Amino acid sequence: MHRFFVDEAGFQGGIARLEESDARHAQRVLRLNPGEEVVLMDGAHRFLGEITDMSDGVTCRMVRELPSSEAALRITLFQGLPKAEKMELIVQKLTELGAAEVVPVVMQRCVMRLTGKDGEKKQERWQKIAREATKQSGRTVELKVDTPISMKQMLARFADFDAVLVPWEDAAGYGLRRFSMEQPEMRHIALVVGPEGGMSPEEVHAMEAVGARQVTLGPRILRTETAGIAATAALLALYGEME
């Protein structure tokens, strides 16, 4: 079934209009007709809807609210800023998996450094990718992508989480399975992944000083665009979100 976002007005009296871009897609590409059912999303909920009118945009009526597809375990990925195409892949796949947020971080070994308007433009691009992936994957809530932040700003946010895990190639002896067994009641976990050049020991120690914990993802070295995706998928599976 086709999935669409409703416009900012949301449902008024059980009636909603598709956002302009979605309305054009429904009319010109999908060639939908009044009477057809669609899934509608308003950023917090999912609804089964029925198209009622297509003479001026696309109007739908709400049939019923659908169960949420969101994971109970919220995962935020602090991603050392990689090259652009890698970040796009990370955002897309983290959305599909069910992560809550992706935060680009400027670290010592980042090849790309985005600030000011350049960072804002990239964030808009990444958020658009998350929005499309939200529709494709049937998410209820759109993954949030932040503008790039500094290490100092990232460290200040660690207090917001139940736990902060740092997958690092030099870590050994403590993995995600053991963590999930010791901490079965986690609700909001942060992951920190370095850029292409990895994280420096000084950065890892700074994170540990404010409560982060090193974890291993196994004996094989993962690329930056793989590590966050793999760790997110593993945590969601270990906490029963893939059953």
**How would residue 225 be classed by pLDDT, with cut points 50, 70 and 90?**
very high
What percent of the chain has pLDDT above 90? Answer: 82
Tens of pLDDT, residue by residue over 74-93, are 999 999 999 879 999 999 99
The dihedrals phi and psi of 136, each to the nearest 5 degrees, come to -60, -40
User: Which class for 36: exposed (0-12), middle (13-18), buried (19 or more C-beta within 10 A)?
Assistant: middle
| H or E segment and range at residue 222 | none
The per-residue pLDDT for 44 is 86
Tens of pLDDT, residue by residue over 7-63, are 777 788 899 999 888 899 999 999 999 999 999 988 888 999 999 999 989 999 999
The per-residue pLDDT for 43 is 82
CA 189/CA 73 separation, integer angstroms: 8
The dihedrals phi and psi of 51, each to the nearest 5 degrees, come to -70, 130
CA 194/CA 106 separation, integer angstroms: 9
Beta bridge partner(s), residue 38: 49
Residue 127 has pLDDT above 90, yes or no: yes
CA 107/CA 203 separation, integer angstroms: 8
| H or E segment and range at residue 154 | helix 151-157
Give the per-residue SS3 of 189-214: EEEEECCCCCCCHHHHHHHHHCCCEE
Identify the three-state secondary structure at position 238.
helix
CA 71/CA 138 separation, integer angstroms: 12
The per-residue pLDDT for 117 is 81
Tens of pLDDT, residue by residue over 130-164, are 999 999 999 999 999 999 999 999 999 999 999 99
Dihedral sign for Cα 185, 70, 178, 109, please.
Answer: negative
Q: What average pLDDT does the structure give for the chain?
A: 93
The per-residue pLDDT for 114 is 74
Mean pLDDT of 87-101: 97
Report the predicted TM-score, pTM, of the whole model to 2 decimal places: 0.90
Residue 201: CB atoms within 10 Å:
10
The per-residue pLDDT for 8 is 74
Are 198 and 109 in contact, with CB atoms under 8 Å apart? yes
Bridge-based pairing state of the strands 101-106 and 74-80: parallel
